[in-house]
Amino acid sequence: MAELLLWEGQAAALTLTALAAGALLRRRERRLVMPLWWVWLLRLLCPLSLPLLTLPNPPAPALSAAGVSPPPAVGGALPLIWLLGAAALLLRSLWRRWRLGRALRFAVREEEGVWCCDALAVPCAVGLFQGRVYIPFRLPEEVRRWAIRHERTHLRRHDPLLLLLTETVCALHWWDPLIWLAAAVLRENMEMACDELTLRFAGGGERRAYFEAMLHFAAPAGPAPCFAATEAERRAAHVVSLRPLSRRAAGGIGAVLILCALPCFITAPPAPVPAGTVRFESETAFARAVCAAAARSDAEALSGMVRYPLTIRREGELVQLEDPKDFLLSYSRIMGAETIADLCAADPEDLFHSWGGVMIGQGGIWFEGSAENGFEIIAINALK
Amino acid sequence: MEQARWEQVSESEYRFLTVLWAHQPIASSALSVLCQERLGWKKSTTYTVIKRLTAKGIVENQGAVVRALVSKEAVDRRERDALVAKQCGGSAPDFLAAFLRGRPLTGEELDRVRRILDELEQDG
């Protein structure tokens, strides 16, 4: 859970950096922000981090201090809900693309890489690697020229791939509204970057022609008052107010942005493994060891398997155990007959998992951890 | 009766007919090869279009030989009389790299964009 939040937090930090960069580069070239967006996508698609730097260990979590049973089965439903949402969105994504493919079947090739299609109202660039430009039939010559140039720029910049990755990220992180917001900003940045590049060597008159061509596809709708600037306005305003940067300045800014993004690859620290801990290769192995130790009343062994401080509730009172010595002193009070019986009867292969940890048997003992970092008992409950 | 058919012929189908008129009557397999060269169509696409146009009564496919049932002149005449091309515009979905996404603009919004563009011309 902590790793998940860290992951989302890093993405949020990257998003804010990208938004800030966009704001700072208001009158400058937005395409400089695009590498940052690629980093954002990479970060969100890849749950692992590069161990560039690990954070110092946080203090022992308060979870084990509660002494009451870890959260009930609802916690176990969350991963399933996520999976359903992600699967639904990914399927929708695939379906839309398939439907587009069907519509584009009857497109006719006009020239190398340019196809005309009845089904499209607006020119599009389609295809991840060997892309094609699709335009409607019968476009006026000027419009056609600019549309093709714009779409070809999209293809050169691998924008269809960018969009596919963005959709995937949104599907995987569907529950995080910041991601959707960021995706919208990403798309607008992408379009502005494309405008900038297409118009790089164009004079004022040509720029006007470009936008007139674009407006050809903004057919007038009915009277619908809207006070927000439309996409066309924003893009036109951006190009109008653009003051190009020198190459060196652009390179410098790009480098700074990437550097700002690096902290987002920091890993969460591994849980500390106390010296002398026996390593177990799996949860089952650990559970088996716990049950075996309980069965032969091996208090010493059990005391070494616990995460301290351990707060337990026994007969209505809270007891705090600071270290193995406390555990040994209170052993008979902690491990009641029912708890031990439950552990003996428990099947180490059949462990219940929830957000709180892993449960052995009917809930007398909960533990957490991993084979790499070691396992620890985090709660012991008296069973009636 | 001929009139009714034209409304249903899309531009892609018209291009297909252009190929057909130049070479008819022609075996469907040879036709699909031609469509591959001229239009960039896969074989399956050509066969689908032949089937569609046969159903509409515009084309005939007897014993794998294809023939058009209407003449080029009739269609050209109709094209000239046709109404203005269907509206270009409407939104492109957000998963595509399109020239312009977003909803169609109102007259007022178009004016606003044009005013911004006027500045462009002044810059030269």
Chain A: give the shortest CA distance to residue B63, in Å. 24
Q: How far apart are CA A326 and CA A323, in angstroms?
A: 6
Q: Are A281 and A370 in contact (CB under 8 A)?
A: no
Q: Secondary structure of B29-83 in the HEC alphabet?
A: HHHHHHHHHHHCCCHHHHHHHHHHHHHCCCEEEECCEEEECCCHHHHHHHHHHCC
| B82 touches A: beta carbon within 8 Å | no
Half-sphere exposure of A219 (CA within 13 A, CB side): 10
**Chain B residue numbers touching A211 (CB-CB < 8 A):** 113, 117, 120
Q: Say yes or no for a CB contact (<8 Å) between B12 and A117.
A: yes
Overall average pLDDT of the A271-291 stretch: 73
Overall average pLDDT of the A49-78 stretch: 45
A146-178 confidence digits (pLDDT tens): 999 999 999 999 999 999 999 999 999 888 888
Overall average pLDDT of the B14-39 stretch: 91
Say what angle helices B43-55 and B28-39 make with each other, to 10 degrees. Answer: 110
A200-227 confidence digits (pLDDT tens): 887 777 888 888 888 888 765 555 545 5
Q: Which stretch of A116-125, A229-238, A281-290 has the lowest confidence by average pLDDT?
A: A229-238
| B10 touches A: beta carbon within 8 Å | yes
Q: In 3D, which of A157, A146, A171 has the Cα closest to residue A41?
A: A171
Question: Hey, is A215 helix, strand or coil?
Answer: helix
Q: Say yes or no for a CB contact (<8 Å) between B102 and A194.
A: no
Q: Say yes or no for a CB contact (<8 Å) between A147 and B99.
A: yes
Q: How big is the A-B interface in CB pairs under 8 Å?
A: 172
Interface of A with B in 37-76 (CB under 8 A): none
B90, B96, B102 member nearest A124 (Cβ)? B96
B91-110 confidence digits (pLDDT tens): 566 777 778 876 677 777 78
Cβ neighbors of B10 (< 8 A, separation 6 or more) are A106, A118
**Chain B residue numbers touching A106 (CB-CB < 8 A):** 10, 12-13, 41, 45, 49
A319-374 confidence digits (pLDDT tens): 788 888 888 888 887 888 888 888 888 888 888 888 888 888 888 888 888 877 78
What pLDDT, on a 0 to 100 scale, did the predictor assign at position A159?
92
Q: Say yes or no for a CB contact (<8 Å) between A122 and B107.
A: no
In this structure, which amino acid lies at residue A332?
Answer: S
Q: How far apart are CA A49 and CA A6, in angstroms?
A: 11
| B43 touches A: beta carbon within 8 Å | no
**Chain A residue numbers touching B17 (CB-CB < 8 A):** none
| B37 touches A: beta carbon within 8 Å | no
DSSP A125: E
Overall average pLDDT of the A55-84 stretch: 52
A108, A155, A231 member nearest B100 (Cβ)? A231
Q: pLDDT class for A22, splitting at 50, 70, 90?
A: confident
Domains of chain A with bracketed CATH: 2-55+78-217+230-265 (no CATH), 283-380 (3.10.450)
Q: pLDDT class for B122, splitting at 50, 70, 90?
A: low
Strand residues in A47-194 grouped as ranges (E): 108-111, 114-116, 124-126, 132-135
A109, A220, A233 member nearest B40 (Cβ)? A109
What pLDDT, on a 0 to 100 scale, did the predictor assign at position B79?
60
What pLDDT, on a 0 to 100 scale, did the predictor assign at position B91?
59
Nearest CA in chain B to A147: B99
Q: Say yes or no for a CB contact (<8 Å) between A122 and B12.
A: no
Task: Starting at the earlier edge strand, list the strands of the sheet with B97-98.
Answer: A108-111, A114-116, A132-135, A124-126, B97-98
B73-86 confidence digits (pLDDT tens): 777 666 655 543 44
Interface of A with B in 82-111 (CB under 8 A): 93, 96-97, 100, 105-109
Q: How far apart are CA B96 and CA A48, in angstroms?
A: 29
Structure tokens that stand for A229 in this block: 């600037």
| DSSP secondary structure string for all residues of A345-367 | H--TT--EEETTEEEETTTTEEE
How many CB atoms lie under 10 A from the CB of residue A143? 22
Q: In 3D, which of A80, A71, A6, A99 has the Cα closest to residue A354?
A: A71
DSSP A311: E
| A237 touches B: beta carbon within 8 Å | yes
Ramachandran quadrant class, B106 (left: phi over 0; alpha: psi -120 to 50; beta: rest): beta
Q: Say yes or no for a CB contact (<8 Å) between A230 and B105.
A: yes
Q: pLDDT class for B36, splitting at 50, 70, 90?
A: very high
Chain B: give the shortest CA distance to residue A24, in Å. 22
Chain B: give the shortest CA distance to residue A22, in Å. 20
What pLDDT, on a 0 to 100 scale, did the predictor assign at position A64?
35
Q: Which tops the pLDDT comparison, A266 or A144?
A: A144
Domains of chain B with bracketed CATH: 2-81 (1.10.10.10), 87-124 (no CATH)
A154, A167, A222 member nearest B97 (Cβ)? A154
Question: Hey, is A227 helix, strand or coil?
Answer: coil
Q: What is the pTM of this model?
A: 0.67
Judge whether residue A267 has pLDDT over 70.
no
| A136 touches B: beta carbon within 8 Å | yes
Question: In this structure, is the dihedral angle defined by the CA atoms of residues A325, A329, A333 and A335, taken in order, positive or negative?
Answer: positive
Q: Are A316 and A380 in contact (CB under 8 A)?
A: no
Judge whether residue B71 has pLDDT over 70.
yes
A97, A225, A232 member nearest B113 (Cβ)? A232
**Chain A residue numbers touching B10 (CB-CB < 8 A):** 106, 118
Judge whether residue A72 has pLDDT over 50.
no
Nearest CA in chain A to B38: A109
